[in-house]
Amino acid sequence: MAAAAFEVTHSAIVSGAVGYARHMDARRLENRLAIAAGMWRESLDEPLPKLPPGDPETQVQEFELRLVDALGEQATPETAKGIAERTWDLVHDRPDDDVVKKRVIEWHERLAKMSTPGIP
């Protein structure tokens, strides 16, 4: 009897944890999208891009990659440092294997060369 009660309780806890994790993942994606959309509106003179239907995480990631590329492409020697700071704010707390963080790091190398005369 006690084992059966444990099974039911454990199952309810695991089910609740999975539901909570999904809710937190959705909240995290909403936050990432809001930050990226705000940065897009503040920095670029073009409408927000339309993304094809699909997995929400893939859509947010694609949008962030477009944002990082658009910001990097508009950089000048005078604006490169500010763009590097803003793009880093987007990804600083992500794991090193995050696709968007990797793209930001690639752009940072280019931006550093652009903003520092004499670096090959």
- Condensed to tens digits (0 to 9), the pLDDT of residues 4-60 reads 544 444 344 444 444 544 556 889 999 999 999 999 999 999 999 988 899 999 999
- Position 51 scores a pLDDT of 84
Q: Give mean pLDDT, residues 105-112.
A: 95
- Position 22 scores a pLDDT of 57
- Condensed to tens digits (0 to 9), the pLDDT of residues 59-103 reads 999 999 999 999 999 999 999 999 999 999 999 999 999 999 999
Q: Give mean pLDDT, residues 102-106.
A: 98
- Position 117 scores a pLDDT of 72
d(C-alpha 7, C-alpha 113), whole Å: 60
Q: Confirm if 107 and 73 have CB atoms less than 8 A apart.
A: no
* pLDDT band, very low/low/confident/very high, at 116 (cuts 50, 70, 90): confident
Q: Which helix (H) or strand (E) holds 50?
A: none
Q: Confirm if 43 and 81 have CB atoms less than 8 A apart.
A: no
Domain ranges (residues) in the chain: 35-115
| C-alpha closest to that of 72 among 47, 57, 60, 90 | 90
